[in-house]
Amino acid sequence: MSKAPIAKRVPHSFTRHGVTIADPYAWLRDPSYPNVTEADVLDYLKAENAYFEAEMKPHQDLIDTIFAEMKGRIKDDESSVPQKDGDYVYWSAFDAGGQYPKWYRRLAKGGPDIVILDEPEMAKDHEFFRLGGHAVSPDGRLLAYAVDTNGSERYVLKVRDLDTGMDLPDVIENWRYGLVWAADSKSFLYTDADENWRSKTVWHHKLGEMQSADRIVYQESELEFSVSVGLTQSRAFAAISTGDSDTNEVRLIPTSDFTAEPVLISPRKPDRLYDVDEREGTLYIRVNDTHVNFRIVTAPVSAPGTWTELIAGDEHHYLLSLTSFENLLVIEERIDGLSQIRLRDYADGKDRYISFKEASYVAGLGNNPEYKVDRLRLSYQSMVTPSTVYDYHLADARLETLKVREIPSGYDASQYVTERLMAPARDGVMVPISIVYRKDFKKDGSGFLHIYAYGAYGFAYPPNFSANRLSLLDRGFACAIAHIRGGDDLGYRWYLDGKLDKRTNTFNDFVDVTRFLIDQGYAKAGHVTAAGGSAGGELMGAIVNQAPSLYGAVAAHVPFVDVLNTMLDDTLPLTPGEWSQWGNPITDKKAFDYIRSYSPYDNVTAQDYPALLITGGLNDPRVTYWEPAKWAAKLRATKTDNNTLLMKINMGAGHGGKSGRYTSLQESAEEYAFMLTQMGAVQPTIAPVSLT
């Protein structure tokens, strides 16, 4: 039997607000980060990886079986639905068995298919590869694209001449998620990552010039704020937004003249968020100034601060986004938590909604690049319905099915049942649950339950379809999504009620949902597995501290578990911008005490814990590798049980794990094998549904 590595303890402490905290695993943070070169640190991480491999090796047959199941549900030559943008139609497709797609286009009037980006060729010499984004110039001749080859999310952006297939000399280092072409296709705006991996500046790059010659268009000075750049649907303006998760402001600059002074829509005000689109000289603005669930106002481009209300805020209608096409306004919203798409006529102000048949689903706008439309590309799925692409024809209110995700190994939706339940939290609030199980699942406590959630940043975990999930459902599991506070599942207030000094609502909701489902007979205590990543990994750390006996196995991916130390370190990439989420423990003793009361790493105690699988990425700029490493080390030294504790650090990847569609599946198969072996549920309770 392999022996678990034991991290050394090195005396270290700090004092803040009169409180001294010992942290004997602080040495696991390499002082030269983001370069990790310390031998002791690397040796420990490698020892943990070796232990992971040794412990999982006896289960390799199961891992291979689950991987084969998951791979069998993926179409080898999967492709996207082509979409017209100007003179061309664009799409992506995998070669049979390929890890990465190729990107294509052809003339809309007909012609040969042309490969504009060959990801397999670009990735062939790299352990990790990710295409960060790409944008075709307005004249259709150039393609800007960005690549990350180590998971650090510091992309290199290049420009390709699509007529010759050759890259221009232009190279942008440290590009970060944002690019808008000028109308004449001779320059573009972009944002980059500074030395602290923060986006503070919008740059103007002229083709043919060096990056060092790029001109600053806007620079943000507030420590907590970051900058992004986007494009209005009309393509008349670039929108420069700067802010944090609570407060922002937007400036517009015409794509016809990037030398013009950006026009401020409305100065930043604390706890006010807004976004902007433009149509024919009128701005459409979604803003939460008078109602927590946002309202929509209009303003002339010539007087952007003069607002006229178009749609008032409402407790039941949570306005998520707006898109001002030339011929109609489209609003994505949730009504009492359910996805809705509202269409508004500019002339008469009348609304209509696109209707869907299922009681619980997630639907939204897909890729709709053009300004004037006669149909809308939509995406749709539910916990039993695979992802579906529709075109909604405006003239006759007709949904045309363009593609339903194919499950090559077979899938019969009629064999599975999905429900939406409401669980009482300890403070009386009712928490929604989306759950799916096989028709033959018995609610008598004899089965297993897998539950997952996120619960942060206002991200609503959708009741989506997962082909991987079938490997659990067919082995006697019910699978549940807990729509806990911290997400915005039931509106913006639902998000506010899970952040700052209400953060522990998120953790309590998850535990209370688990207890409710146990009481309803979905599983008994100890036969529940749970999983979450990033802030959802923080959730996993909190629930195993609070109620460890409920869970038999827990997977925490890139877990944000060292919350107090991270929020005290304003040199880390995300920390200043995160204070609006968690509080600033540097200056605020109340925030310090509250974070310390729930931070998973700080609250590890001498008690029995469930089996744990912890993952991380050495190059992760979001949740640094030492957070999972320190947590695993402290758990090993403190817990009182002999349950399995495994940690795996991807040495050549970042926040999203390994790249490539099959390589990432391998990691999913490892997670499921870990869960199943801990539950003793290795064999399917019934043969997986097959239509072949």
Q: Is residue 557 among the annotated active site residues?
A: no
Alpha helix (H) residue ranges in 478-618: 492-496, 504-519, 535-546, 563-567, 575-582, 589-598
Q: 239: which residues sit within 8 A by CB, 6+ positions away? A: 229, 230, 231, 232, 250, 251, 252, 275, 276
Q: Under a CB-based contact definition with an 8 Å cutoff, are residues 242 and 248 in contact?
A: yes
Query: Which structure tokens are listed for 639?
Result: 């817990």
* Residue among 172, 240, 157 at smallest CA distance from 212: 172
Question: Which entry of 277, 434, 620, 659 is annotated as an active-site residue?
Answer: 620
Q: Is residue 534 among the annotated active site residues?
A: yes
| Cβ atoms < 10 Å from Cβ of 140 | 16
- Supply φ then ψ for residue 677, to 5 degrees: -70, -35
Rg of the chain over Cα atoms, rounded to whole angstroms, equals: 25
DSSP states of 354-401 as a string?
A: ---SSSS-EEEE-----SS-SEEEEEEE-SSS--EEEEEETTTTEEEE
CA-to-CA distance for 429 and 419, rounded, in angstroms? Answer: 19
| Cβ atoms < 10 Å from Cβ of 633 | 25
Q: 197: which residues sit within 8 A by CB, 6+ positions away? A: 153, 154, 573, 574, 621
CA-to-CA distance for 171 and 178, rounded, in angstroms? Answer: 15
Strand, coil or helix: 412: coil
Q: Is residue 620 among the annotated active site residues?
A: yes
Dihedral of CA atoms 151, 155, 160, 165 in degrees, nearest 10, equals -20
CA-to-CA distance for 107 and 87, rounded, in angstroms? Answer: 6
Q: Within 13 Å and on the Cβ side, how many CA atoms surround 591? A: 18
* Residue among 131, 166, 143 at smallest CA distance from 90: 143
* Residue among 394, 407, 389 at smallest CA distance from 466: 407
Question: Which entry of 534, 580, 599, 659 is annotated as an active-site residue?
Answer: 534
Dihedral of CA atoms 626, 627, 632, 633 in degrees, nearest 10, equals 50
Q: Under a CB-based contact definition with an 8 Å cutoff, are residues 48 and 5 in contact?
A: yes
Question: Which entry of 205, 450, 483, 655 is annotated as an active-site residue?
Answer: 655
Measure Cα distances from 576 to 109, 267, 314 in Å: 50, 21, 32
Residues involved in catalysis: 534, 620, 655
